[in-house]
């Protein structure tokens, strides 16, 4: 497991980008739960964010690709609109405890 951040650095209905050992990630907190995905649109492999730490649509209810406008469910990473509909973001296993948010990088799974 690798440390991602302190819990207070990922507030409700917000997103943040991270890079750990060359792996670019997006983390989102929704309804108290943390979701982590690879920061890579399945359509063209481009980063998702509009600008630093800006991964969500205007309603903060979906992850949105800045390049193509594709929309992804925060809870599953599934694309529900756009050129990659039916595909999904690459989920990264994570957990939260009193020390903060932790991820299990793909090579450790």
5 within 8 A of 101, measured Cβ to Cβ: yes
The number of distinct structural domains making up the chain is: 1
pLDDT at position 108 is 62
pLDDT at position 106 is 85
pLDDT at position 61 is 97
DSSP annotation string for 78-105: BEEESTTTT-B--EEEEEEETTEEEEE-
Buried b (16+ CB within 10 A) or exposed e, 27-48: bbbbeeebbbbbbbbbbeeebb
**Structure tokens belonging to residue 6:** 């302190």
pLDDT at position 40 is 96
Q: What is the CATH number of the domain that holds 46?
A: 2.102.10.10
Full residue range of the structural domain in which residue 55 is found: 2-108
pLDDT at position 109 is 52
Residues of the chain under the 50 pLDDT cut: none
């Amino acid at each position: 497991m690798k440390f991602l951040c302190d819990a207070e650095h990922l507030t409700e209905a917000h997103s943040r980008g991270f890079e750990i050992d060359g792996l670019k990630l997006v983390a989102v907190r929704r309804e108290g739960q943390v979701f982590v995905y690879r920061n890579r649109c399945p359509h063209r492999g481009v980063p998702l964010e509009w600008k630093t730490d800006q991964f969500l649509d205007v309603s903060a209810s979906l992850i949105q690709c800045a390049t193509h406008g594709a929309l992804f469910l925060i809870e599953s990473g599934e694309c529900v609109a756009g050129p990659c509909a039916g595909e999904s973001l690459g989920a990264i296993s994570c957990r939260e405890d009193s020390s903060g948010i932790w991820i299990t990088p793909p090579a450790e799974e």
